Amino acid sequence: MPELRWALIIAGGYAAGAVGSALGVPSPYLLASLLVGSVLALSGRVRDRLPGPANRTSQALVGALMGSHLTSSALMAAAPSALPLTAVTAATIGLSVAIAWFLARKGRISRPSAVLGMMPGGSAGIVTCADELKADVRLVAFNQYLRVGLVATTAPLLAHWMAGGSSSGPAGGGPGSWPGPGLFHLVAGPDQLTGLLTLAAVSVAGVLAGRRLRLPTPALIGPMLIALVATMSGVIPAFAPTGILQDVVFVLVGMDVGVRFTRDTLRRVRGLLPSILAAMTAVCLGCAGMAWIFARATGTPLMDAYLATTPGGINAVLAAAVSSHGDVALVSTVQSLRLLVVMLVTPMIIRRLTPDRPKLAGTTAPAGDRSRVRR
């Protein structure tokens, strides 16, 4: 049965994360499950994506976790940095578009495909609108999820290094953090049953609201907004996922990224891979540079600034922030703001860059080369 098979795979990812946690690996459940998923996909043992219900559940729980950190005091603390944060968000999008434009000129990729592939955030929403914007959906999906994979792999390691290797605690990032007496402590509050029921209500209501409002990635943003309102009201019991439940959520996030890297996907884009990797490296280095400038200008710890400005991978970045005890409110605010802005401005950017080419296909290569991308 597919359900049993996926349950065993997820259990294997959790076991690998527990081993990584015992060895002191940063964000162990995220990184270990990402590695397990990638190995299974590249070996051909897994040929499909994480089941939809599991993926949507993990997104909803991550959204609830993000919203629970956005308290009024946290937002007030971030308010003085609003202007530089807005500038960093705009600069990140501008840098991504500039590098995508250069990639389109030097490679065999059309401007819509290059820009959509390099956009920093909103992977699911970007891939969804690729067809409508006359881009190569497969190429856009590969670029987006390769970027997410790179961010998910490097962000925890860099955050751990920036924090001086001190990331240990409830997120499972430190040595010897095997499940202990808190085995059934699944939410932050003392009343577990009430907290779990509140978490379920926030998640379901958030997903429904996100779809109703047609938000980008509704399963993530919807619960985040509902959790934000619930948290700031001050009358809702604590419901943020913690302990084993949080670890399982991070396993699902890592597994969802890992299983996307199949041999067939790599075979289709192998001729473009060096150019794509170079472009993504440039985007990541540019964002790291902006994080350094932002940290120096505002006095924000470099680790928090880096996680807030990484080019996408919001689920993985949140996991890294939680594991390294970073400023989750700041990271969530900046990443969520950029996600919303990206989804709003991307169609306008694409149409601006290709005003005279409305029927442009996925690549600009000659017919003989084009088949190398489309096969």
**Cα separations in angstroms, 358 against 265, 351, 365:** 27, 8, 17
Q: Is 292 exposed, middle or buried (0-12, 13-18, 19+ CB in 10 A)?
A: middle
Contact 186, 196 (CB under 8 A): yes
Three-state SS at 323: helix
The Cα 144–Cα 258 span in angstroms is 13
Q: Which residues contact 86 (CB under 8 A, 6 or more apart)?
A: 337
The Cα 319–Cα 85 span in angstroms is 21
The Cα 221–Cα 204 span in angstroms is 12
Tell me, what's the pLDDT at 273?
86
**Cα separations in angstroms, 176 against 22, 172, 243:** 4, 9, 14
The Cα 156–Cα 71 span in angstroms is 24
pLDDT reading at 367 higher than 70:
no
Tell me, what's the pLDDT at 125?
62
The per-residue pLDDT for range 290-339, each reduced to its tens digit, is 999 989 888 888 888 888 888 877 777 877 787 778 888 788 778 877 87
Tell me, what's the pLDDT at 129?
66
Count the neighbouring beta carbons within 10 Å of the beta carbon of residue 82.
Answer: 12
Average pLDDT over residues 77-93: 83
Residue 238 vs residue 200, higher pLDDT: 200
The per-residue pLDDT for range 146-160, each reduced to its tens digit, is 888 888 788 877 877
Q: Which residues contact 348 (CB under 8 A, 6 or more apart)?
A: none
Instruction: Rounding to the nearest 10 degrees, give the CA dihedral for residues 74, 78, 80, 82.
Output: -140
pTM greater than the 0.75 cutoff? no
The per-residue pLDDT for range 11-67, each reduced to its tens digit, is 999 999 999 888 877 778 888 898 999 899 999 888 888 898 998 999 899 888 878
Q: Which residues contact 37 (CB under 8 A, 6 or more apart)?
A: 9, 13, 46, 254, 255, 256, 257, 258, 259
Tell me, what's the pLDDT at 80?
77
Ramachandran quadrant class, 191 (left: phi over 0; alpha: psi -120 to 50; beta: rest): beta
The Cα 18–Cα 176 span in angstroms is 9
- Cα 335–Cα 30–Cα 2 angle in degrees, nearest 5: 115
The per-residue pLDDT for range 341-352, each reduced to its tens digit, is 887 788 788 878
